[in-house]
């Protein structure tokens, strides 16, 4: 096997790559939710027939989200190199990769959030408004509360996507399992590294999917 290495050499590389991937995905997921959730709520309430109609703002935000979702992530990675360097000081490493990963993911999550809020029964909203509730009461006690299972499912789907994004970030030296697969697997023709990274990525995706589905089922059952 070309480029073969012993288990003692391979194991530290896989552990380090996995930890870097978890670091990237964890922080990117946090920032994605912090940006995408309020953006999705704003998209929902600012519709022409929404709770706080702002058609112009809705059109602008909708266009930004649609453009962000339509760009292939590999193109976005390269296009954001100057911005990442300006923000972080470098384009290499797992910390720098968080920037394009987050920017590539938050439009997707914002649209998922908007769709999740669409599932909330309008009667719940009307009940809060009839009791003198304001917009913030509606958002907190009706929209986000009632849509929580769907939002958790959306977060699960987003995290799975982020794992894929973190792997692609290896193309520009973003660290993690993707970078490991490219530098030690592809470029050195090392099948052990390639197989190891693929197996770990599959396990990560399956683990996130199973945990997310269990949380959604448990929450839906309690409700």
Catalogue all structural domains in the chain, each as residue range(s) with its CATH number: 8-221 (1.10.3720.10)
pLDDT of residue 223: 60
CA–CA distance, 95 with 27 (Å, rounded to integer): 9
With contact defined as beta carbons under 8 Å apart, do 134 and 142 qualify? no
Task: Report d(CA 108, CA 116) in Å as an integer.
Answer: 12
pLDDT of residue 1: 42
Q: Residue 48 burial (CB < 10 Å; 0-12/13-18/19+)?
A: exposed
Per the CB < 8 A criterion, the answer to whether 197 and 17 are in contact is yes
pLDDT of 4 reads: 58
Using DSSP, state whether 197 is helix, strand or coil: helix
Q: Quick one: tokens of 108?
A: 């997707």
Residues in the chain, pLDDT under 70 = 1-7, 222-223
The predicted structure's pLDDT at residue 61: 95
CA distance readout (Å), 1 to 6, 13, 181, 196: 12, 18, 16, 15
| Residue 114 · residue 184 · CB < 8 Å | no
Residues in contact with 208: Cβ distance below 8 Å, sequence separation at least 6, in sequence order? 156, 159, 160, 163
pLDDT value, residue 124: 83
For residues 146 and 121, what is the distance between their CA atoms, to the nearest angstrom?
8
The pTM of the full predicted model, rounded to 2 decimals, is 0.89
Sign of the CA dihedral running 134, 115, 76, 174: positive
Q: How far apart are CA 11 and CA 34, in angstroms?
A: 35
Q: Is 53 helix (H, G, I), strand (E, B) or coil?
A: coil
DSSP assignment, residue 164? H
């Amino acid at each position: 096997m070309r480029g073969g290495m012993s288990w003692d050499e391979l194991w530290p590389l896989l552990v380090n790559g996995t930890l870097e991937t978890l670091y990237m995905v964890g922080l990117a997921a946090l920032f994605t939710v912090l940006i995408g959730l309020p953006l999705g709520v704003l998209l929902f309430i600012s519709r022409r027939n929404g709770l706080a109609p702002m058609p112009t703002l809705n059109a602008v935000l909708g266009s930004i989200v649609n453009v962000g979702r339509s760009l292939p992530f590999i193109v976005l990675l390269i296009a954001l190199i100057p911005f990442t360097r300006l923000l972080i000081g470098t384009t290499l490493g797992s910390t720098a990769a968080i920037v394009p990963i987050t920017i590539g993911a938050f439009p997707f999550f914002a649209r998922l959030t908007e769709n999740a809020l669409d599932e909330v029964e309008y009667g719940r909203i009307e009940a809060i408004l009839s009791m003198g509730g304001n917009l913030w009461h509606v958002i907190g006690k009706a929209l986000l509360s009632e849509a929580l299972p769907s939002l958790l499912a959306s977060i699960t789907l987003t995290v799975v996507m982020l794992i894929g994004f973190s792997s692609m970030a290896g193309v520009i030296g973003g660290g993690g399992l993707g970078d490991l697969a490219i530098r030690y697997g592809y470029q050195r023709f090392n099948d052990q590294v390639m197989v190891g990274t693929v197996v770990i990525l599959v396990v990560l995706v399956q683990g996130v999917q199973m945990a997310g589905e269990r949380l959604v089922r448990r929450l839906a059952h309690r409700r």
